[in-house]
Amino acid sequence: MEDDAAELKRWLRERAQQLGFHLFGVAPAVTPTGYHRLVEWIEAGYAAEMDYIPARLSAYQHPDGVMDGTRSLVMLGFPYRTVEPPPADALEGRVARYAWGTADYHDLIHRRLKQLKRELAARDASIGVRGVVDSAPLMEREFAQLAGLGWTGKNTLLLNKLEGSYFFLACLLLGVDLPADPAHHSDHCGTCTRCLDACPTDAFVAAGVLDSRRCISYLTIEHRGPIPRELRPQMQDWVFGCDVCQDVCPWNRRGSVANDPALQPPVPDQQLDLVGLFDLDDDSFRTRFRKTPLWRTRRRGILRNAAIVLGNQQASAAVPALCKGLADSEPLVRGAAAWALGNIATGAAWAALRERSAIEQDPTVRAEIDAALSSCS
């Protein structure tokens, strides 16, 4: 039986590598040692509005919460580094590397996991198996470390000596015992604090502790309401996600380059055109972004973020697009556009705010317009 398990592991490793997974390791199905830290993190309020995490808290205690009868976890890493990002010009916004492509990485990786599942079923249909990509109540980084894939950096991301941190984590939960790999117990961050020091919003409470309420990735993707005013300037040019703590990490000077066409940016030397976003209605936004990670925020979230970035850039050429935002059907977009126009503070911006002030009914948007008019004056 041990020989059979070792052979199955060898076969899984070989097939996973052929399917594009550069990292492979096996962990036993146990209660993750960091579960108590997850509980403390939630109790401190650092999960912000991500209610789906505390709602499934008990499931994080053991992989059985994801698949009953789990005995082993095959942890996988799939690289997503492509070209080096250009700087954002005026009227452009930066997008986190993982979201540059033309496909949602969940779909991209699930197809490969399903292929592995089908081939495994052909070998032995009696083995229970489930593939997951960061949507199940599973502490992936804990199990990846237990499987020997790397260590958790001070920015809370999994780091690998060869791959850095620009890779997606995926997992196959198996109802069979496989030989486990040695856990990665050492930490190779040393005294380096570049990731902590570089964070634009000071989102790290301590090394390894992230307050989501201040994280640009959380604010631009998960947060559904108006972004706190004091954090808007610190968002800089980030319109979707943030890579600052990864970009400054010395371990990311190396790493594999992803060659999957679906991960490549449509225009390698450009960032996201922000002005054009304000011409998209719901249908055209769906057509353009439905199969990409940017769909997660929906149109109102992206336009909110775009307005804030344009307000940070203070380019007068953005005023016509922001005037469209000021008349948008979504209060969230109107409020962000009002703040941005107040930041730009040209005569045209002031006039648009005054005109909208006379007809705006939403109290939150009215407060944004009043504050923006005060800023303009």
> How many CB atoms are located within 10 Å of the residue 351 CB?
14
* Residue partners of 210: CB distance under 8 A and separation at least 6: 46, 155, 156, 203, 204
Q: Which of 250, 79, 84 is nearest to 163 (CA)?
A: 79
Phi, psi of 206 (to 5 degrees): -160, 170
Is 134 annotated as catalytic? yes
Angle CA(301)–CA(299)–CA(314) in degrees, nearest 5? Answer: 60
What is the spatial distance between Cα 184 and Cα 197, in angstroms, rounded to a whole number?
A: 26
Rounded to the nearest angstrom, the gap between the alpha carbon of residue 28 and the centroid of all alpha carbons in its chain is: 27
Indicate which residue of 89, 124, 134, 281 is catalytic. Answer: 134
In this structure, are residues 340 and 311 in contact, taking their beta carbons and an 8 Å threshold? yes
In this structure, are residues 252 and 163 in contact, taking their beta carbons and an 8 Å threshold? no
Catalytic positions: 134
